[in-house]
Amino acid sequence: MKMTQVVLARIGTDETVRYAVQELYSYLKKIDNSLFVDIRFYSEYDESVKNTIWVGQSDAFADKILDVEDKFLDDSIYINVENNAGIITGCNPRSVLIAAYRFLKELGVAWVRPSDDGEVVPEYEIKRLDAFVQEKASYRHRAICIEGAVSYEHVLEMLKWIPRAGMSGYYFQFLRPFTFFEKWYNHLGSDGYIESQNISRPEVDAIVKELESEIALRGLVYHKVGHGWTGEPLGFTSDGWYKVPSSEISEEIKPLISELDGERKFFRDIPLNTNLCYSNPKARKLMVDYIADYIRNNPHVHLLHFWLGDGSNNVCECKNCTERVSDYFVMMLNDLDDILTKEGNDTKIVFLLYGNTNWAPLKEKFNDSDRFVLMLAPIARNMSKTFKTIDPGKTYTHAPYEGNKTKPVQPLEVEEAYALLKEWQDVFSGDSFDYDYHLMWDHFYDPGYYGTAQTVYDDMQALETIGLNGMMSCQLSRAAFPTNLPLHIMAEVLWDKDCDFEEKALEYFFNAFGPDGEAVMEYMKALSENFDPYYNRQCFKTGVAPYGKEERLAKLKKVKAILAGFESTIKKNLEEGHCSAVEASWKYLEIHAEYCQKLLKPLVANANGNTEDRDKFADEVDDFISLLPTRVNKIFDEFWALFAIGRTTRVDVKLDGDVEGAAY
């Protein structure tokens, strides 16, 4: 019997390319353990060497890769393998890695969630390898931002998943992302299921350093910081929303802090939320010099985020702060650019449209748009309407800017967000992306996740239309309970904005659940329709129920029937011999059905106006969520679930269905 042999020829010494070859070797052996895979090393491509799959970059491949504007930030891949010989390459080392994973996908490999139990690898005898792909990503920015409660393992699994899904970047918020690791390791907000580890800041620093090496290994675009620049330069730790008494502000630095209601103090006692007195040149210089020094000491950061104080309507009211805060913001951005340009430093700076900086500057102009990247952050938007509804040919309006009396400071509708964005685009012509929150809170209103995935799809398709070049998902690291469909769809559309939603969804469900994948898709779709995220958003975002009690109860009754009707399918699949990843998917679906049954009770009581039963059942939901980390900690963030679901199940309603007290 003749043994099949595959030769993988690595070109050059780049660590990301080396890793791509290792991953190809590993997965080819998982598919066919009898396959003989030989790895060889070349400093450059050698056309005379035949019967080889070349992996890496070479000038000889340049005309085969679709052109991109920026060869580091953008991604373009080329795969041409025929009968175990050919090329796997890309416009940068990360693209080579993405191409390697894409090749494996062509062989049937899938990663259905960012966890170690999400790997689907078919087993079959490999006779010959064939694949052809020549593509580039529709959008430049395709990244994930740390949020929620996370461990080292949770973040590592996300970093592994990102290039496998064709995404390209990762973002650690703050100078030290302590608050996110603290929530997990110290188990804030949930009781008793595991002992608190009382993690320290030095321990988090060590975790981040190790994870930064994983980011570098994969060649990912690395984003860092954001909030914190208003507190750290003054000597106040700003790696979370921690309170500090304003009595600790010395007389020396008090003039640098914003004046609110006649006092210079921390906004709500939180340095992270406090702005400085931006009309004061010393305050501006302090921030800019501090940021410039950070950039010098952290050359591995590719895109540094420069944000002002978190929160809204918290800008300085002193007699000298007469300009819009965005004008002062642009002054500081230009000052930072001057310093970096003189030093020959090409680090990109991301600035934020958020809170009072949603309103564009009136006077200041950018000296060099190429230095900066605009980031739209519509944190309060109602997800019931997507960017797909925006017509760039129309003129949309927004609330006027009135300093600290502006309402609403965060746009509630996409039309407002676009109107504000358009005014920034009139003064800024550079790179930009959306920083959005589909998987931060909103998915908790949609236990089926199918409606959330459709919202993601519509938004991602429309980014180009509204002048944005991609997406940074500000989301929980663990948002795949029971499926990873919304994040999967996000990655697919950011890579190919013209892909078909149902085709990609169906492909996902077959990979995650096997032969009954289409049945699971219809099940999740039905749960989304009848748990009704539209109803929930309207209630909890606007305070107005879109329809009355009887229609609401009829939908919730359908949920009960849907859960009962699918119980036998779940049981059947748990008894069958699926691969480990598919088996895990069905186990998660079983636990999710329990969760939906628990969630249904307070929602029905709520619709009936029975507040006593509602609160009793809501407490039972909270108890259930608190214990979930022992069963689904890889895919479900209990910290934020307790926050979001607690509000979802406790909104007071009248018997006719009108909401009396909105949760937001």
Spell out the residues 6+ positions from residue 281 whose beta carbon is closer than 8 angstroms to its own.
none
| Residues recorded for the chain | 664
Spell out the residues 6+ positions from residue 292 whose beta carbon is closer than 8 angstroms to its own.
336, 339, 340
pLDDT of residue 654: 47
pLDDT of residue 352: 96
Q: What is the pTM of this model?
A: 0.95
Cβ count within 10 A of residue 432: 25
pLDDT digits (tens, 9 = 90+) for 190-237: 554 556 678 999 999 999 999 999 999 999 999 999 999 999 999 999
Q: Which residue's structure tokens are 């952290």?
A: 298
b/e for 71-106, b at 16 or more Cβ within 10 A?
Answer: eebbbbbbbbbeebbbbbbbbbbbbbbbbbbbbbbe
Q: Which residue's structure tokens are 């090749």?
A: 103
Cα–Cα dist 473/479, whole Å: 12
Cα–Cα dist 468/289, whole Å: 30
Whether 382 contacts 537, CB under 8 Å: yes
Tokens of 98: 């993405």
pLDDT of residue 543: 66
Long-range contacts of 537-540 (CB under 8 A, 24+ apart): 537/382, 537/383, 537/384, 537/442, 537/445, 538/382, 538/384, 539/651, 539/653, 539/659, 539/662, 539/663, 540/445, 540/647, 540/648, 540/651, 540/662, 540/663, 540/664
Cα–Cα dist 105/76, whole Å: 16
Cβ count within 10 A of residue 464: 14
The H-assigned helical ranges of 496-545 are 501-513, 517-531, 533-537
Beta pairing, strands 5-11 & 53-55: parallel
Write the Ramachandran bin of 122: left for phi over 0, alpha for psi from -120 to 50, otherwise beta. Answer: beta
Tokens of 302: 């590719």
Whether 197 contacts 186, CB under 8 Å: yes
pLDDT digits (tens, 9 = 90+) for 501-541: 999 999 999 999 999 999 999 999 999 999 999 988 887 76
Main-chain phi, psi angles of 599, to 5 degrees: -70, -30
pLDDT of residue 652: 60
pLDDT of residue 65: 97
User: Helix, strand, or coil here: 306?
Assistant: strand
pLDDT of residue 548: 87
pLDDT of residue 660: 39
pLDDT of residue 261: 93
DSSP string over 580-616: HHHHHHHHHHHHHHHHHHHHHHHHHHHHTT-HHHHHH
Beta pairing, strands 5-11 & 431-436: unpaired
The radius of gyration computed from the CA coordinates of the chain, to the nearest angstrom, equals 26
Q: What is the mean pLDDT of each run of 10 residues along the chain (664 residues)?
A: 86 98 98 97 96 97 96 98 98 98 98 97 96 98 97 97 98 96 81 68 97 98 97 93 92 96 94 96 98 98 97 95 97 98 98 96 96 97 95 96 93 96 97 98 95 98 98 98 98 98 98 98 98 86 80 96 98 93 98 97 89 91 89 93 78 47 30
